[in-house]
Amino acid sequence: MATFDVEYDLVSIGGGGSGKMAAYIAAKEGGLKTALLEKCPETGGSSVFAEGQAAFESSEQKARKVPPTPGMHYPTRAEGYKRYIDYSHKRANPEVARMQAYETAETIDIMKSLGIVYTDVTIYAYEQPTELNSFHRPDGLGAHMQEVLLQATVDAGVDIFTSTAAKELIVEDGKVVGVVAEDADGNTIRIGAKAVVLAGGGFGGNLDMVKENSRFAKNAEHLIYMGPEGNTGDTIQMALAIGADTWEMLPLMIIPVAKGKTLVAHINGGGSQPVLWVNKTGQRYYDEHVALSFADAGNVIASQPDGRSYSIIDQDTVQHLIDDGSDIGLGDFIPYHGKLTGLQTELDEAIAEGEMTWKSDSVADLAKQIGLDPEVFQATVDQYNEFAAKGDDPLFFKDAKYLRPVKTAPFYAIEMRAAILVSTGALHVNGSMQVISVDGQPIAGLYAAGMDAGGLFGDTYNLDVPGSANGFAHASGRVAARHAIKAIKG
């Protein structure tokens, strides 16, 4: 018979959106004695960086009736469900996609009841025709939403232990009955629990797991990690150690970024535009319009030799981005048509400091500085300028309005890499978020939520349904807690 230092009804591991939502519901609705463990000094995880969350047939969508995107409509649950299934080439778990389609709308109502105001319900990247209008943007974005949820969790009576890392699951007669954790002083605590929710936010910060599980094993060393330090896959490993199964561990939420810069930097905004992109060979490699889906663009860049891409712009384009604004936008990181007023200063500073940005009055010299073959690069630029003059791109069929020539010196190159925000493939769960064993049966007492729960995606994060990860985190935490309440109370 296992012995414990302390006992709870439910222990939620991870203080991000999914873990907090699970703990809040367990305590508030179920009256369960609940603990939340967070290995970092502060709760929040990657959820504090999120801009918005997906939901279908929400009260906000119903009240607004039509989205601000001309000719588009708010998606039904069925459309949401089908988009997950189709985008993943049928690799999504139908039970998980169904949960997402039905349960995300309630998150919006819960957050509204806690004081969150939704300022906008639309798509993420304007002019992206394939996106559903699922993106609910809260005031103060994810950071404010997580503050509000944390307060609600405290008010509901949840015991929150920060700087406390879960290490191991305690199993008795095939049922999870507790967790071994370690506090900031290295003390081991054995915590008994009738239910455990794994909400550790995935393995994006664990390079070994990224190499082993994602499609970028070859280029993993060149990926930049931009998520929080705590998301290192511990909770997934704990479940695997007791016989849990996985579902599509491949997908990462991955985004192009100017090396060493933040996502909101104007130099990053400039490098992320669908201008001329070349790889290490000095050649163009894709329709740069892929930038409108950052996950697809991240995949494409991560697949280039050494995981590098160079965005090439001339002085006219720099001025255009400053005066007229960006051609494409990505949520709040790169506002659509937002003027990149800091671009020239940021370019000059990065060049002066030798930060993977180059400038020259000659195309051949620019190539030499970057380390590209000058002849190949010159031929690429000449050909691209011809396409721009004709308004026709017979190589990759990019829309003519994005064919900005490279002809007015000085010319600039910005090195772009792919950055991991979170991993989005994880443990096999059913629609109630119970973790499924390699034998195909639910593991009694064990749930996974958020980025620890796999099944919503195939090999790529789905930006056709913007806000999927954050919407999933909150809905799955709630569903896990409700199932646990029923299982515990009978």
Nearest Cα neighbor of 45 from 490, 414, 422, 341 is 422
Among 321, 340, 469, 481, binds ligand FAD (CB under 6 A): 469
Structure tokens at 2: 């296992």
Q: Which two tokens stand for residue 294?
A: 């950052």
Residue count (the chain): 490
Site string for ligand FAD, 186-225 (x = CB under 6 A): -------------xxx------------------------
User: Counting contacts by CB under 6 A, is residue 51 touching ligand FAD?
Assistant: yes
Print the binding letters for residues 260-289 with ligand FAD: x by CB under 6 A, - otherwise: ------------------------------
Candidates 42-50, 99-107, 217-225, 264-272; binding stretch for ligand FAD (CB under 6 A): 42-50
455 contacts ligand FAD (rule: CB under 6 A): no
Member of 10, 12, 18, 178 binding ligand FAD (CB under 6 A):
18
Q: Is 37 in the site for ligand FAD (CB under 6 A)?
A: yes
Neighbours of 438 (CB within 10 A): 11
Identity of the residue, 146 or 344, whose beta carbon is nearer to ligand FAD in the bound complex: 146
Q: Does 470 bind ligand FAD (CB under 6 A)?
A: yes
Give the nearest distance from C-beta 473 to ligand FAD in angstroms: 3
**Does 17 help bind ligand FAD (rule: CB under 6 A)?**
yes
Nearer to ligand FAD by Cβ, of 264 and 400: the residue is 264
Q: Per rule CB under 6 A, is residue 50 in the interface with ligand FAD?
A: yes
Q: Which of 216, 203, 273 is nearest to 414 (CA)?
A: 273
Identify residues 100-129 at the interface with ligand FAD (CB under 6 A).
none
Window 124 to 153, contacts with ligand FAD (CB under 6 A): none
Q: What would the x/- binding string for ligand FAD be over residues 225 to 254, using CB under 6 A?
A: -xxx-xx--xx-----------------x-
Report yes or no: 387 and 393 within 8 Å, Cβ to Cβ. yes
Cβ at position 297, least distance to ligand FAD in Å: 15
Query: Are 55 and 67 a contacting pair, CB within 8 Å?
Result: no
Choose the stretch contacting ligand FAD; rule: CB under 6 A; options: 31-39, 211-219, 277-285, 435-443.
Answer: 31-39
Q: 358, 333, 336: which is closest to 347 by C-alpha? A: 358
Number of residues that bind ligand FAD (CB under 6 A): 43
Which among 15-23, 82-90, 293-301, 436-444 is the span making contact with ligand FAD, rule CB under 6 A? Answer: 15-23
Measure the CA angle with vertex 309, ends 307 and 314; round to 5°.
170
74 or 135: CB nearest ligand FAD: 135
What is the bridge-based pairing of β-strands 175-182 and 188-198?
antiparallel
Dihedral pair phi/psi, residue 93, rounded to 5°: -85, 120
Name the segment binding ligand FAD (CB under 6 A); options: 13-21, 57-65, 148-156, 383-391. Answer: 13-21
Report whether 320 contacts 233 (CB < 8 A).
no
Q: Select the span of 55-63, 91-99, 368-376, 467-475 touching ligand FAD (CB under 6 A).
A: 467-475
The residue among 421, 361, 343, 321 whose CA lies nearest residue 50 is 421
Q: Does 47 bind ligand FAD (CB under 6 A)?
A: yes
Contact 469, 50 (CB under 8 A): yes
Closer CB to ligand FAD, 53 or 460, in the complex: 53
Q: What's the closest the beta carbon of residue 392 comes to ligand FAD, in angstroms?
A: 35
Distance of alpha carbon 139 from alpha carbon 145, whole angstroms = 8
Q: Which residues within the stretch 383-422 sit at the binding site for ligand FAD (CB under 6 A)? A: 421-422
Which one among 12, 34, 53, 213 touches ligand FAD, defined by CB under 6 A? 53
For ligand FAD, which is the closer residue by CB, 198 or 363?
A: 198
Question: 188-198 and 53-54: which strand pairing?
Answer: unpaired
Residues that bind ligand FAD (CB under 6 A): 13-19, 37-40, 44-47, 49-53, 165-166, 199-201, 226-228, 230-231, 234-235, 253, 421-422, 450-451, 467-471, 473
